[in-house]
Structure 1
């Protein structure tokens, strides 16, 4: 359902932009509305990963962390495909980056990591722009789809998040 909502919203929003205040540029920053769409996917993914029945998962023979990783990879691939299909390939990269960020933050703050993508987006919007349409390279998310450093950063962040998902124990409750 989240991936369908992702595709539907990307198709509806298209390249619409909004002007938001920026603390570093001293004016407003132009942000594409599509920057916020990956939050739907990351929140749904976190809900799926954190939903559990502790006793059956601990006593079972299936490795639930492997299934969680497979689900995560599948969702990211579907979102990247949808992004390319609707003409917004940067949206797939942003899902990759924000999912990795969320999974990495999950090691430290647990379920509250669902807010990490939102916190990143707000940080980018408020302090991530040199001028109205010129984001800093560290921001990753508002960069154009053909920026190789943004793709590399997204891939590194997703790899880190996936390894955190596979290497850390799931907490009871």
Structure 2
């Protein structure tokens, strides 16, 4: 069982991705990248805004690696290990969020939910790309200006909400819970316990 999780699924790569996220956010995370906005003008986004995609790619890489013959003849459902690993990833991301910003941790949870839902409907590659597209759409279409002319965000652009927004956290956690439930039916592999 441990051998399968470490050697086949390679869940240890998620830990490396979390370390990379902390290093990138700590060194060049505050650097601004220009992104065109369809609501007017050119706006900037911190590099740290895009770092949650690294975690999603690592998780989807691990979910893609499997031995169908071993899983189909095994005893313990492998999806339980996958769900536990995804939940542990979200928990560890919140630990890293204390260093890099809790908005990054919330966005990791949000993108993991989006990736799991996309994975349920398509495949791992589409799931990894869906998170990046969501972030770009938030930047290009989700920015607005309030009545006083200050830059703001639209109601649906959850990735742009500040870290202290309770509503954005609740939506991210609810989507994550739904995605875990829905993604559990993707495959029915089992793993033998020795």
Q: Same fold (TM over 0.5)?
A: yes
Q: CA deviation at 1:23?
A: 0.4
Q: Does 1:12 align with 2:27?
A: yes
Q: Does 1:139 align with 2:153?
A: no
Q: CA deviation at 1:14?
A: 3.9
Aligned length: 169
Which stretches in structure 2 are left out of the alignment for 5+ residues? 1-15, 190-194
User: RMSD between aligned alpha carbons?
Assistant: 1.7
Inter-partner Cα distance in structure 1 for 2:97 and 2:43: 23
* Equivalent of residue 153 in structure 1, options 138, 160, 171: 171
Contact 1:29 1:133 in 2 (8 A): no
Q: Which runs of 4+ in 1 moved over 6 A?
A: none
Inter-partner Cα distance in structure 1 for 2:154 and 2:33: 18
* Equivalent of residue 163 in structure 1, options 159, 178, 181: 181
What's the secondary structure of 1:52's corresponding residue?
coil
Residues 79-105 of structure 1 deviation map (CA, whole Å, 9 limit, x = unaligned): 111111x15111111100000000011
Inter-partner Cα distance in structure 1 for 2:164 and 2:50: 19
Contact 1:34 1:91 in 2 (8 A): yes
Contact 1:10 1:83 in 2 (8 A): no
Instruction: Report what 2:3 is aligned to.
Output: none
Which stretches in structure 1 are left out of the alignment for 5+ residues? none
Instruction: Report what 1:41 is aligned to.
Output: 55
Contact 1:41 1:95 in 2 (8 A): yes
Indicate the structure (1 or 2) with the bigger Cα radius of gyration.
Answer: 2
Q: Does 1:104 align with 2:104?
A: no
Inter-partner Cα distance in structure 2 for 1:88 and 1:104: 25
